[in-house]
Amino acid sequence: MSDEQQAQGQGAASGERQALVRVVVADDQTAVREALATVLDLQPGVEVVATARDGEEAVRAAEEHAPDVILMDLNMPRMDGVEATRLLTERFPRVAVVVLTTFADEEYILAALGAGARGYLTKESGRQDITRAVRAAAAGQSVLDPAVRDRLVAAAARGGVPAERPAGGLAPDLTRREIEVLTLIGEGLTNRGIAERLVVSEATVKTHINNLFAKAGLRDRAHAVKYAFVHGLVKTPG
């Protein structure tokens, strides 16, 4: 192998290392924690750098290992997942938290998202869904399990979730394309799904999302789902 080929190979390997999504798995059940760590470690571009048995260990792991994503259970001893997410958001804002839990009640969903979680999945999610959510969170995207999105929309329908703006219509300066993107977010599509539906790049979708979030005063994808429902862009599930 020539020096040039070797250098190219080393550069490619370095690029792959830089592209790795570093993950901490936090769950108080040993079997679940170890199974998740094993599954994620087998995925290309994902590396589990630590596991944690509770929220306190998750926060320490973030400090020690500087992960990109923490896959967080909610019901854990000593410090639960919501409190750990709140601390992580305050201390390590670049670390994305993706909740993976058995609970899909709106109080848990709203508490976790309010604490700063970037994604929320139930433990019925498959390994591909979990892997996609981890990668999406590392890329700055939010991911909601379809069942979670439906709960949020249903809560908004009952008036249990306040709208982000007064019910006087959409933000007036939203473009037609931004409204289309907002509608698709409300329907539960990921950035990739929106890009495929609109036949544009994911980078273009991200730009539209950033613009509509700024114009409508939205903080995250969960609030966008509620906003889309309140303004009649999506309908109540069922």
Q: Which of 9-18, 173-182, 201-210, 222-231 has the lowest mean pLDDT?
A: 9-18
Predicted confidence (pLDDT) per residue in 222-233, tens digit: 778 778 877 778
Average pLDDT over residues 92-98: 92
Give the integer Cα–Cα distance in Å for 206 and 141: 9
> 74 near 100, Cβ under 8 Å?
no
Give the integer Cα–Cα distance in Å for 83 and 69: 16
> 86 near 115, Cβ under 8 Å?
yes
The predicted model scores a pTM of: 0.66
Collapsing DSSP to helix, strand or coil, 79 comes out as coil
Q: Which of 7-21, 132-146, 207-221 has the lowest mean pLDDT?
A: 7-21
User: Would you list the DSSP string of 10-26?
Assistant: HHHHHHHHHH-EEEEEE
Collapsing DSSP to helix, strand or coil, 122 comes out as strand
Give the integer Cα–Cα distance in Å for 110 and 92: 21
Please name every residue paired with 100 in a beta bridge, in sequence order, or none if there are none. 121
Whether pLDDT at 78 is above 50? yes
Predicted confidence (pLDDT) per residue in 114-173, tens digit: 788 888 999 888 899 999 999 988 988 778 888 787 777 666 656 555 444 444 578 888
| Average pLDDT of the residues of the chain | 82
Greater confidence, 234 or 185?
Answer: 185
Whether pLDDT at 6 is above 70? no
> 207 near 165, Cβ under 8 Å?
no
Whether pLDDT at 35 is above 90? yes
Give the number of other CB atoms < 10 A from CB of residue 21.
Answer: 21
